[in-house]
Structure formats: C-alpha cells, structure tokens
A and B are shown apart, each in its own frame.
Chain A
Amino acid sequence: MKIKVIVTLKNGVLDPQGKAIQQTLNGMNFGNVEDVRQGKYFEIEVKEKDEKKAKSLVDDMCKKLLANLVIEDYKIV
C-alpha cells in the first residue's frame, strides 16, 4: 500500500527558498503571488494491507526521521 506524506516548514519558520521562488514568480509577472512555502513529498510503499496500520507506521516514520519537528510539520494524505 502506498502512503503519501507532505512535509512542510512550520508557520513562522523562515523559508529562504520559498522566498526566492516567490520573488522570481513576481519578476515573471505573476504579480499576485503573495507567498511561497516549499516542502517535501514522499511516496512510501508499505507491505501492509490495513490502511490504518500502514498510516500509523508512516506516522512513526515521520516523527523519527522524515520530518524534524523543530521546524517542520507533516501531513499524511
């Protein structure tokens, strides 16, 4: 079963890459772009048929490795 995870920076944490992307978009005449936050996306193939169990496993992985909870939030989608 494939579980998808999105890791993003927490609100308030400076995202210089997102800022650079936003400024570039503004410079390309996408003037209405007010903010960009860059994140990470994972597709994790888990050998598990029960969705609840698989998601709980991935939740553990997020806490232990995939996200650094000092600056990042994660969302299992």
Chain B
Amino acid sequence: MRSSVIIFPGSNCDRDMDVALKKFGFKNQMVWHNDQSIPKSDLIVLPGGFSYGDYLRCGSIASKSKIIKSVIDFANSGGLVLGICNGFQILTETGLLKGILQQNKFLNFICSNVFIKVKDKQNKYFKDLKKDILELHIAHNEGNYFCSDDELKSLEDNNQIAVTYCGEDGVENESTNPNGAIKNIAGIFNKNKNVLGMMPHPERMIDKYLSGEDGSLFFENILDNFK
C-alpha cells in the first residue's frame, strides 16, 4: 500500500508518521506542501504539528497551500485521506470535513494518553478492528470539536462520528472529555468515509516498550482492509 505524508512548514509529526507507516509495510513518501502533485498513493496523511505557526486559525493557511488541490481531488475521487491532530484541523479548514476545532475548553495544552471508542466500523479504517476501545495519545491546544446542530445531526444520522473520548471502560461523559468537544468527538469522517480526521496520534502508540501498541492495530488494520 502506497502512502504519502504531506509536510507543511511547522509540521512536526511527519517523521513519526513516516516511521510508523514504514514499520507496518507501507511504501511511504514525503511530499512538500509547495509541490503541485502527489505521487501515486493509496493513502494521503496530513500529519500533526503547527503548520504555519497556527497563524489566523489552526490549519487555515495550510488549507490554502499549493498541494491542497491535489489532496481535495484525491479525496473526492474516493482516495483515503487521514488527518491527525493539525491534519484534522487542516481537513476542517478545507471543507472536506465538517465543523472546526476550537481552543480547549479550559485553555490548556493537553498532553496525555486517552481512551477512544470506535463508533463506526463500516469503513476502510476500522473495519474488523480487533478492539473497540483504543489507548492513544493526544497533544493539542485546539481539539475542542464544534459544529452546528444541523451538522451534528447529519454526522450522527450518517454514522460519520468515527471515534469519541471515553474512559478505559468505554464510558463517555464530561469527566472523560479532555477538551470540551461536543459529544466527546475525537474524530469524524466525511460522508463517504474515505476521509478521516482525528485528534489522537496513532503513530505515537506503535512500540510496546515505549508506549503501547494500539496505534499498531490501527495501521495494521488499514493494511488488512486494503488487501
């Protein structure tokens, strides 16, 4: 499976993502934001970081960069596009995903492990995933997902909520919501479920000695579903 990771000025999880993808057998390439086109890929990843210093709004400047037209075309033709953290913010700013990520409710930068519940498995990312609850890592200041009531209803009606913050036992409530996101939302899909944006970092959970291996499950599952 071929993948491309887009690097923006200020991306800082691009190389972690590269290491993770290659570890599980993706043929990964790094693509610079100023390039016009993306090499043939089965998966495009927008990595975490602080593209363009988070100027104006997180992801807003990156969402207008040169490479983005190719990313949008790829997504609209059904290609898999995964945005992690800042990548999720960029995807909402392009309009590929609904809503926006606002500043965390308590104005704090959050860096911690969280549990997330997989809400939908009828898609190429989570189909046949062995677990329903994953332990992943978050590190963000703007992860407080927000959208209008109408948009929320359409996300729910179409099963576009991908993952939500929960406790180790799967309980979703205010105490297991780190940043104030509506409905504990940690990640969503577009309508066709080929575009996934989520705040947690699977690429930081791929080593059993260093962190945990729930991120490994995520990447291996994408590969299994591609076969």
Q: Which residues of A contact B (CB under 8 A)?
A: 13-14, 16-17, 20, 65-66, 68, 70-71
Contact = CB atoms under 8 A, between A and B. Distances in A.
Interface residues of B, number: 20
Contacts of A17: 103, 107
Contacts of A70: 92, 99-100, 146-148, 151
Q: Tell me whether chain B's interface is mostly helix, strand or loop, or mixed.
A: loop
A74 to B, nearest CB: 13
Interface string B103-146: 11111000000000000000000000000000000000000101
B194 interface: no
Given A14-B102, A14-B144, A16-B106, 10 more contacts: A13-B146, A14-B146, A14-B180, A16-B104, A16-B107, A20-B107, A68-B60, A70-B146, A70-B151, A71-B100
Interface string B42-62: 000000000000001100100
Max chain A Cβ within 10 angstroms of own Cβ: one of B92, B100, B151: B100
